[in-house]
Structure 1
Amino acid sequence: MPIKLSDVMNHATFTAADPVLRACAAAAADTQLRWVHSSEVLDIAPLLSGGELLLTGGDALVTASDARRVEYIRQLAERGVGALAVETGQRLASLPSSMVRAAEEAGLPLIEFRKVVPFVGIMQAINSMLVSESVAHLRRADEASHEMAVELAHGSSLDQILAVLAGIIDATLELSSVSGVTLGNAGPNGAGTRPEGTGSPTDGAGSDEEPGHTAGTGTDGTVINIDVPVRGVPSARLIITVPADGDINLARVAGGRCVDILSLALLQRMPPGLKEVAGTALLRAVSSGSQPWRLQQLSPAAGIPPSATMVAVVVRTSTSQQLRVAMDKILKKSAQQSASYVDNAEVLALAALPFDGAASARAELVAALEELPVEAGTMTAVGPLAAGIENAPWSLSEAKVALDLAVNSSLRAAARPTSDTGGVVLDVENLAVERLAAQHLDQRARQDFVRQQLGPVLDHDTRRNSQLLETLATWLDSGCNTAQAARELHVERQSMHHRLQRIFELCGGDPRGTGRLAALHLATRLAAP
């Protein structure tokens, strides 16, 4: 029988601490525990694998900000930690209400220890009980691994191999590729659970560094994700759905124990292209900001020279899987080497461009993306040129910053429509001012600068419902070309001259040939509502 939080709450070593469940009390009866840890480190979540009861004296929480305490709760919940117990009374007088609210929202049982007890006593007593359970789990996991190996040796399908594990752990399984295509599935009765070729809703989650476990609770039970690597590169994901009355710890242990069998099955039955899976792993590493050594390691396997000049592309769309195919065709024409990856509603791509003529090749890529048919609302951003794979995360992050800024009206001039009028392409090289301001100036500083430079113009627009700010911005963006600005604004040249004259009066004269021209141009770019 799984050991649950309610069982631990009634243990003598635990009751000595006078525990009170402050959040998610109703979940105690169903929360299964795998181990008991104690730590005062707030960044402990990445070191946990789920199902733990974490004990803390609260020393670090005393000096942490309220936002950091909430983030601590959120990280533990996302990691699948079973429960958190915090000792109060000495340094931490009581549990902050923000932590209680965050735990309730995240579904993390939060326990307050109102008396001081030795954590080592609790850990020794409870973990000794858990060890006995773990031994039983390991026996059943080894049994599953052995039977799966037999099926593999007999040439069984992936569905048949998965059915062995599904029957032993009494859970529903799905094995999907990194692109979200279902490779095999099985239920507790051995039947398939999802038609072949369908995508997985969990594609894109999890660690990019090494095979790992993540868990979450859904309406159908607890979902456990386990990465399945092939030759060291994450190539598939085993998704285990454990019913509400199932043994989560057994599913975790057995699923992890069978990863090697599944890796061999993938190699034998449908060997993935190592270049493709390495490209996916590379983009996941770039997206998560991995260390340069990791990028240097993955880049050659993905066919991208580490020293190449490259550019990142980000597309936000609800048709990411379909759009990726069209994107790959463009990348093959515009780049020497490339890789793409679908991360939920985003298509991420990395293109290695010719060393000589990288700027022109990038311009051709932007032009090709503008011709790409997309659905309404699709937003595409092309990052700046990056020298070497170690700078690829910067190019990708700048593209994402541009997309985040695209909601501002000031970016409309920089957003080029695609062949489908519902989508736009952003070239981040045209947004240097906005990116700089967003990353290095706070909102108050931007507002003060805009007010100093354009105050009279803004007041005039407010009082008269005029469009002097838009007129000035268009004129400056055109290089102070009055005729071109008039065409873009669809006004007569004489009307344009009258508007400019009024703007000059409000701004202290014609700015051309003065140092004020650059300041006015900067202010118009920062004046988005």
Structure 2
Amino acid sequence: MSIRLLDVLKHSTLTPADPVIRAAAAVAAETQLRWIHSSEVLDIAPLLSGGELLLTGGQALAAASDKRRTGYIWELSERGVAALAIETGAALPSIPSSMIAAAESAGLPLLELRKRVPFVGVMEAINSLLVSESAGQLQQADQASHAMAVELAHGGSLDRVLAVLADATGSEVVLATNAGVTLASALPAGHTKESEPAASAEGGQDHAREIHVDVSVRGIPSARLTLYVRGDTDVNLARIAGSRSVDILALALLQRMPPGLKEMAGAALIRAIDSGTQSWRLQQLAPAAGIAAQAHLVAIVVRSAGSRQTRTNVDHLLDRVARHSVSYADNAELLALAVLHPDSLQEDRTAIVAGLQSIASAEGFVCAVGPVASGISAAPQSLTEARLTLELAADGGAHHGGHGQAGAVLDAEAFAVERLAFHSLDEGLRTDFVRQQLGAILDYDAQRRSLLVETLRIWLDSGCNTAQAARELHLERQSMHQRLQRIFSLCGGDPRGTGRLAALHLAARLAPRLTTTLAATH
């Protein structure tokens, strides 16, 4: 028997929270749960799979604008989240009326937790029940996937393959291209299209009962499978069976409609850029991939464990923000090109960096966005600089805000001085320069195991803002001033207002990447 939202509200771990339904109470009675998750991140929707009860505290919502709060509700609803529970208290005394109205309109059950409970305990207890329930659903889903494979092996059409899935899940099933063109569809046996429409009479979609699954062919996102769950059918079974059917559907699509020439040309273009192909060849390949030879674009390098979901999320982000994009996955590295709108180059690039950060923080990958390239001939340079940024961050990650760690998005523009020094000076010259500028401070750090070089770098990165640097270093302002006075005494005085400031800043940025060499020359 499926675990429903009302069952969870009566569970012993959640009743101490004194929960009350503030919106979509009629929907709550029939809402099935797949998982319970907690997060304070407002941009969490793209990282959820649907069917979750999302628990959140009120701090982030209290600080957000009213527009962002209602947008948060709609994003969760469109993702198919089962329900949202908000803990009210000192930061957020009550749920804003605008959020309640948005949730009611979206059909998203909205719960208020009027007392504090440990979210971890709630998730451990209820997710263990959901795991037990899912074992049977997995078995049924695997049986459906096997039956679909048999149908395909016997030459069944896409409609017939989907009919197996429709019967197994009791859902209307539609397979469409990324452009929205329907390729095939099926209804459960005994149902007609008119008997129970997927959309309500008012035209609104019940997002919690729509399951969307992306289907990729040879690594190229090619179609979307949608299951419209009918009546009291098990939503979680439909979700699992839909996910389990992806490989079968990808094979069916490959037999009937292999990846389009544009997608194949895009992959070939990125491989050519990566291999250092001559400019004239790139100008030949670009138009076939839908990229003008003179387009402004950026290269993106993503390094991860090779998750298919990572590529899907990155591709969806670039489809939304960029004018056009192509991508290519090679083992644990994903390479992408994003074409920017000519009248909003920096705005597009900033949006790409921000969007990647929201994905990376959840999926744990590290990536770099290269500088803007003017024309396809300059794309190899953008890719090279993105890769160089990853290497520089890996070398100095522990001394540069942890940028070498997983879950980070690196902006090549933030490493401009390091990249310039790497290209212009060999390691010996870089080492000599750093010793000339910071020799006394380096010796002081080595003798006392202090962090004066890091303090200097963070202070200079902040624009010599002492208060901001102190916050980043978790220091009292008095301690920060004492460190600065020691630094000034070692480097010949306060550098502000002198020509030494830029040289000290460059040396401080280079020092973490030359630690081994500097130690050897000491």
TM-score, normalised with respect to structure 2: 0.50
Which of residues 392, 395, 417 is equivalent to 2:339?
A: 392
Give SS of 1:271's match.
coil
1:127/1:111 CA distance change after superposition, 3 Å: same
Aligned to 1:261: 248
State which of 278, 288, 291 in structure 2 corresponds to 1:303. 288
CA distance in 2, matches of 1:26, 1:193: 25
**Could you say which residue in structure 2 is the equivalent of 1:110?**
110
* Matches of 1:257 and 1:84, distance apart in 2: 27
Check 1:251–1:305 CA distance in 2 against 1; reply closer, same or farther (3 A cut). closer
Query: Which secondary structure does the structure 2 equivalent of 1:237 belong to?
Result: strand
Quote the residue 2:214 is aligned against.
227
| 1:147 CA displacement | 1.3
Contact 1:52 1:82 in 2 (8 A): yes
Instruction: Tell me what 2:30 maps to.
Output: 30
SS in 2 for 1:268: helix
Contact 1:221–1:241 (8 Å) recurs in 2: no
Residue segments in structure 1 that go unaligned for 5+ positions in a row: 195-199, 202-215, 283-296, 313-342, 351-388, 402-529
Letter in 2 for 1:304: A
Which aligned pairs between 1:172-251 and structure 2 lie closer than 5 A?
A: 172-189=172-189, 218=205, 222-251=209-238
Gaps of 5+ in 2: 270-281, 298-318, 326-335, 349-522
Q: Give the distance between the partners of 2:118 and 2:48, measured in 1 at CA.
A: 22
Determine whether 1:21 maps to 2:6. Answer: no
Shift of 1:18: 0.5
Which residue of structure 2 lines up, in the alignment, with residue 77 of structure 1?
A: 77
Kindly provide the amino acid, as one letter, of the partner of residue 230 in structure 1. Answer: V
Confirm or deny: 8 A CA contact 1:144 1:164 kept in the other structure: yes
1:62 corresponds in structure 2 to 62
Contact 1:220-1:241 at 8 Å conserved across structures: no
How far is 1:279 from its partner? 7.3
Aligned match of 1:211: none
Q: Following the alignment from structure 2 to structure 1, what is the Cα–Cα distance between the partners of residues 118 and 32?
A: 23
Give RMSD over aligned pairs: 3.8
Structure 1 CA distance for aligned equivalents of residues 264 and 190 of structure 2: 29
- Residues 257 and 17 of structure 1: is their aligned pair in 2 closer, same or farther, counting only changes over 3 Å? same
2:405 is aligned to none
1:129 aligns to what?
A: 129
Larger relative helix fraction: 2
The 1:147/1:391 distance shift into structure 2, 3 A limit, reads: closer
Q: Show the counterpart of 2:499.
A: none
Kindly state the Cα deviation for residue 217 of structure 1 after the two structures are TM-superposed. Answer: 6.7
Give me the whole-angstrom Cα distance separating, in 2, the residues matched to 1:278 and 1:80.
34
Given that 1:36 and 1:55 are in contact with CA atoms closer than 8 Å, whether structure 2 keeps it comes out as: yes
Distance 2:148 2:160 in 1: 9
Give the whole-Å Cα distance in 1 for the aligned partners of 2:64 and 2:172: 41
In structure 2, the CA distance between the partners of 1:396 and 1:4, relative to structure 1 (3 Å rule), is farther
8 Å contact from structure 2 (residues 215, 225) kept in 1:
yes
Amino acid at match of 1:308: A
Within the alignment, does 1:273 sit opposite 2:220 as a pair?
no
**Cα distance between partner residues in 2 of 1:302 and 1:193:** 42
Please tell me whether the aligned partners of residues 274 and 301 of structure 1 are also in contact (alpha carbons under 8 angstroms): no
Q: CA deviation at 1:59?
A: 1.8
Q: CA deviation at 1:395?
A: 3.7
1:182 CA drift (Å): 2.9
Tell me: CA distance 1:73–1:162, structure 2 relative to 1, closer, same or farther (3 Å): same
Residue by residue over 1:489-523, the C-alpha shift from the partner in whole angstroms, topping out at 9 and shown as x without a partner, is: xxxxxxxxxxxxxxxxxxxxxxxxxxxxxxxxxxx
Seen in structure 2, the aligned counterparts of structure 1 residues 305 and 263 have a Cα distance that, compared at 3 Å, is closer
| 1:309 aligned partner, one-letter code | Q
2: CA distance, partners of 1:302 / 1:258: 35
Q: Which letter does structure 2 place at the counterpart of 1:113?
A: L
Aligned-partner SS, 1:184: strand
Matches within 5 A, 1:500-511: none
Q: Distance in 2 between matches of 1:37 and 1:221?
A: 16
Q: How far does residue 267 in structure 1 lie from its aligned partner after superposition?
A: 1.4
Percent of pairs with identical residues: 59
